[in-house]
Amino acid sequence: MHVEVTPLPGIGTRQDFLTKTGRRIGVITHRDGHFELIASKSDDPDACVASIPLSTEEAGALASLLGAPQLVAQLRAEQNELAGVTTKQLPLSPGSPFDGRPMGDTELRSRTGASIVAVVRAGTVHPSPKPDYILGGGDLLVVVGTGPGLKAAADILDKG
């Protein structure tokens, strides 16, 4: 994937790439830290059909929507050799009993055999979080385990 980085003097930087379908898609990072999501018009690749201003949090949310599936897919592909083990992303809903508590409190591994291999928060991946890692509502937990183990893990994360 070739991402083009173009400086916009006095404004910020534009980073975009060409999709297979011939559309440019990318992000303008403004100096003051806010982002703009851009997508080119289908009939005029030089122009933009939309440029949507995003705050840092919004950009993070969008990135995790797009980023977590990719991570999960990658892990899945790596575990194809291991029969019976899969990877799933489990959302930690705001208001979950573990919202704001360290990861160790979930005791997921001892209770279900499944383990949290990464936490995706605001578009950034935190690999192999330690037991003292404080979970937050809206985090996506990337969990590896057997089918039943993952089911149990999802229940625990929701209900405690």
Partner 1 sequence: MHHTALALIELGAVFFGLGLLGRLAWKIGVSPIPLYLIGGVAFGKGGIIPLTGIEEFTGIAAEIGVVLLLLLLGLEYSANELVTGLKRSWVAGVVDLVLNATPGVAAALILGWGPIGALAMGGVTYISSSGIVAKVLGDLGRLGNRETPVVLSILVFEDLAMAVYLPVLTALLAGVSFWGGLSTVGIALFAVSVVLIIAIKFGRYVSTLVDSPDPEVFLLRVLGLALLVAGLASQLQVSAAVGAFLLGIAISGSTAENATKLLEPLRDLFAAVFFVVFGLNTDPRDVPPVLGVAVALVIVTTATKMLTGWFAAGQQGIARLGRLRTGAALVARGEFSIVIAGLAVASGAVDSQLAPLATAYVLLMAVFGPVAARVVEPLARKAVALRTRTA
- Residue among 32 and 132 whose Cβ is closer to partner 1: 32
- Distance of CA 101 to CAs 40, 95, 130, 134, 146, Å? 43, 11, 13, 5, 25
List the interface residues with partner 1, window 43-102 (CB under 8 A).
44-48, 50-51
CA angle 114, 116, 120 (to 5 degrees): 145
Q: Which stretch binds partner 1 (CB under 8 A): 37-45, 73-81, 97-105, 131-139?
A: 37-45
24 binds partner 1 (CB under 8 A): yes
Cα–Cα distance measured from residue 152 to residue 27, given in angstroms and rounded to the nearest whole number: 39
Contact of 48 with 39, CB cutoff 8 Å: yes
139 binds partner 1 (CB under 8 A): no
Dihedral over Cα of 92, 93, 97, 98: its sign = positive
**Of 3, 17, 19, 31, which one interacts with partner 1 (CB under 8 A)?**
31
Tokens matching residue 144: 């590896």
Cα–Cα distance measured from residue 14 to residue 7, given in angstroms and rounded to the nearest whole number: 6
Q: Which stretch binds partner 1 (CB under 8 A): 29-37, 66-74, 124-132, 140-148?
A: 29-37
**Of 1, 3, 8, 59, which one interacts with partner 1 (CB under 8 A)?**
8
Where do we find the tokens 């996506």?
140
**Of 26, 129, 138, 149, which one interacts with partner 1 (CB under 8 A)?**
26
List of residues contacting partner 1 (CB under 8 A): 6-11, 14, 16, 24, 26, 28, 31-32, 36, 38, 40, 44-48, 50-51
